[in-house]
Copies of this chain bind each other. A is one copy, B any other.
Amino acid sequence: MSLLKRIEAALEQQFSLTRTASAPPRLMDAMRHAVFPGGARIRPQLCMAVAKACGEDDHELTDAAAVAIELLHCASLVHDDMPCFDDADMRRGQVTVHKQFGEPLALLTGDALIIMAYQVLARSGRQHPMRTVQLLSVISEGVGAPDGIVAGQAWECETRVELSQYQRAKTGALFVAATCGGALAAGVDPAPWRKLGDTLGEAYQVADDIRDVMMQADQLGKPAGQDAHHGRPSAAADLGLVGALDYFNGLMQTAADSVPLCESREAMRKLVLMESERLVPPSACEQISRQYPTSATSRVSA
């Protein structure tokens, strides 16, 4: 089974356990709407890939960690789309939760998805309780204060913010949770996997900034030009498109090089480099080169 199929099945299973006769039906509909259909499911796939690379021995716990991370990501998107933040109408090609179900249910949906992430961990944690407590710690670090995605979003409410600290919290932290969480679910020391998550996370944020500037809303599945519109820190604004692309390529190379020694090191490195092309497609690189013919940007290599 591909990792994508595996995470979809695991998410479906958890939703079937949560939807009981006593649950408020509209809340459950809104929670599903926030999670299905998904985006690329990068974070949970990364978590599962690392667990496999670490010789996973408790599939249920790996699935729980991956599902928890994806639910926390979806929760952040629901709240981020609300009128007091991005006021976005579309997400992943469908209307946003607050547009479909109203603001009160969107607020509660985000809350309920955050808590569901922990319910999933609790449900699958009894076979390896110590690993589960460590997962609880690493995953919460990725989303909460002082350095997780909630803190990352909160930096948008400060008057001064350093770009790399902001991006590390807003995106990188949950990628670190994904790589370290995968290792922990397999009972392995997560420390050597931290740099891969950290670097990939920053690269994803930079790619997002580049796409936000370059692409149209129908290609993105959500409104374009949002960073400039909301005056948010952005690598593309700070470094220019060429500089941002260079920076992105450097990060992806660092990410590939940071994969720790393990049986499937080469496969993991290739995965990272393939992601690089998915994130900023060759057509985008060409477009930047045409616009700025004097500068050369080099892609990463294996």
Instruction: Show the binding face of A for B, using Cβ within 8 Å.
Output: 18-20, 22-28, 31, 75, 79, 82, 84-85, 101-105, 107-108, 110-112, 114-116, 118-119, 121-123, 125-126, 129-130, 132-134, 136-137, 140-141, 143-148, 150-151, 153-158, 165, 169
Contact = CB atoms under 8 A, between A and B. Distances in A.
Grouping DSSP codes into helix (H, G, I), strand (E, B) and loop, the A interface class, with mixed when no group exceeds half, is helix
Contacts of A75: 111
Given A24-B151, A121-B136, A18 B146 contact: yes
A140 B122 contact: yes
A219 to B, nearest CB: 28
A24 B144 contact: no
List the number of copies, as a whole number. Answer: 2
A154 B114 contact: no
A145 B153 CA distance: 25
Given A107-B79, A114-B114, A145-B112, A154 B85 contact: no
A154 to B, nearest CB: 4
Nearest to A23: B146
A121 B110 CA distance: 21
Contacts of A130: 126, 129
Interface centre among A22, A108, A125, A134 (most CB of B within 10 A): A108
Contacts of A129: 129-130, 132-133
A155 B111 contact: no
B150 A111 contact: yes
Given A27-B151, A31-B145, 19 more contacts: A26-B154, A26-B158, A75-B111, A79-B108, A84-B104, A85-B107, A104-B157, A107-B107, A108-B154, A112-B144, A112-B145, A114-B115, A115-B150, A118-B140, A122-B140, A125-B136, A132-B132, A133-B133, A136-B136
A234 B85 CA distance: 33
A26 B157 contact: yes
Given A84-B103, A136-B121, A140-B119, A157 B111 contact: no
Contacts of A112: 144-145, 150-151, 154
A300 B118 CA distance: 39
A297 to B, nearest CB: 31
A99 to B, nearest CB: 13
A163 to B, nearest CB: 14
Contacts of A104: 84-85, 153, 156-157
Contacts of A18: 145-146
Contacts of A141: 119
A136 B133 CA distance: 9
A113 to B, nearest CB: 9
Nearest to A138: B122
Contacts of A82: 107
A146 B19 contact: yes
B107 A145 contact: no
A12 to B, nearest CB: 16
